[in-house]
């Protein structure tokens, strides 16, 4: 099969010509093979060499390729011709952009800035509520004392029929990101009163009080923090309750009887900070 002759570099026109399509078309070779096979069967008694001299190949012009394909063909022809040319880098009649600017089209890309506000996750996630009887490690009971609109929790010894004064405590447990901590809220069962830690007016000292809350589960994050305590189980099997709003301060009872339950520093050696928890059946 004869190879197509590649023209010299100076003879290559820089404008596109439709003859390039014929130059790169395989239709001629396909037609020759088809005619040859057909005539071998139809005229097998004739000499192939005699017939071949009378064959007039028909060149069919293919469909006009797309513009991008034409330019790609032109680029391949030029690049192949430039291979092996010495000193070609010194010529400045065209640059790389001159070859590609008609094939690769630059388009403006519009970027839209989208601002996404990620909602902060809840610091505490409610788990469940259980009811307990809570006493200090000396067995003093917790009882609710009310006077007009004021309510407070006191610690005292109760026996006999007086044991009915002992308050039952709703212990609401929560999940938090720190798996080592067990956050809880402590409320009076049957009442909408919860232990709350706040700073004493005019000072930075925290105080413990009872505040009315319709539904503790509706409070979140900073609103829930004053009511939150971290329940810790010590090696002595006693529980302690550290304020989440005032780290280092614990629920404490006095050595004396009929005293209000308070919030004291963990370094305090006078007040009692260890408690016994018994589930209320």
Q: What CATH topology corresponds to 125-279?
A: Trefoil (Acidic Fibroblast Growth Factor, subunit A) (2.80.10)
Rounded to 5 degrees, φ, ψ at 94 are: -155, 160
| Nearest C-alpha neighbor of 141 from the set 163, 119, 173, 117 | 163
pLDDT of amino acid 267: 94
**Chain mean pLDDT for the chain:** 77
pTM strictly above 0.75:
no
**Greater pLDDT, 232 or 10:** 232
pLDDT of amino acid 64: 56
Q: For residue 167, how far is the Cα from the chain centroid?
A: 46
The b-or-e profile of 105-138 (16+ CB within 10 A means b, else e) is eeeeeeeeeeeeeeeeeebbebeeeeebbbbbee
pLDDT of amino acid 21: 46
Check whether 131 has a pLDDT greater than 60.
Answer: yes
pLDDT per position as a tens digit, 19-38: 444 444 444 444 444 455 55
Domain ranges for the chain: 9-100, 125-279
Check whether 209 has a pLDDT greater than 60.
Answer: yes
Query: DSSP character for 272?
Result: B
**Greater pLDDT, 252 or 70:** 252
């Amino acid at each position: 099969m004869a190879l197509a002759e590649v023209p010299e570099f100076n003879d290559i026109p820089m404008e596109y010509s439709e003859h390039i399509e014929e130059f790169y078309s395989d239709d001629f070779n396909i037609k020759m093979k088809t005619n040859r096979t057909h005539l071998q069967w139809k005229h097998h008694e004739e000499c192939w060499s005699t017939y071949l001299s009378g064959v007039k190949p028909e060149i069919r012009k293919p469909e006009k390729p797309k513009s991008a394909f034409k330019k790609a063909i032109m680029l391949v022809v030029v690049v192949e011709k430039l291979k092996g040319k010495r000193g070609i880098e010194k010529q400045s009649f065209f640059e790389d952009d001159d070859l590609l600017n008609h094939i690769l089209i630059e388009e403006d890309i519009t970027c839209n800035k989208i601002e996404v506000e990620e909602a902060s996750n809840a610091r505490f996630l409610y788990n469940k509520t259980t009811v307990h009887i809570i006493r200090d490690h000396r067995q003093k009971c917790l009882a609710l004392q009310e006077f007009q609109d004021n309510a407070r929790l006191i610690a005292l010894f109760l026996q006999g029929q007086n044991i009915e004064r002992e308050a039952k405590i709703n212990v609401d447990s929560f999940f938090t990101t720190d798996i080592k901590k067990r956050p809880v809220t402590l409320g009076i069962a049957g009442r909408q009163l919860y232990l709350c830690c706040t700073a004493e007016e005019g000072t930075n000292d925290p105080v413990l009080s009872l505040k009315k809350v319709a539904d503790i589960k509706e409070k979140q994050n900073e609103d829930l923090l004053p009511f939150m305590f971290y329940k810790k189980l010590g090696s002595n099997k006693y529980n302690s309750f550290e304020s989440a709003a005032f780290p280092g301060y614990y629920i404490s009872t006095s050595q004396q009887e009929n005293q209000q339950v308070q919030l004291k520093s963990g370094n305090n050696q006078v007040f009692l900070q260890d408690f016994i928890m018994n589930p209320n059946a």
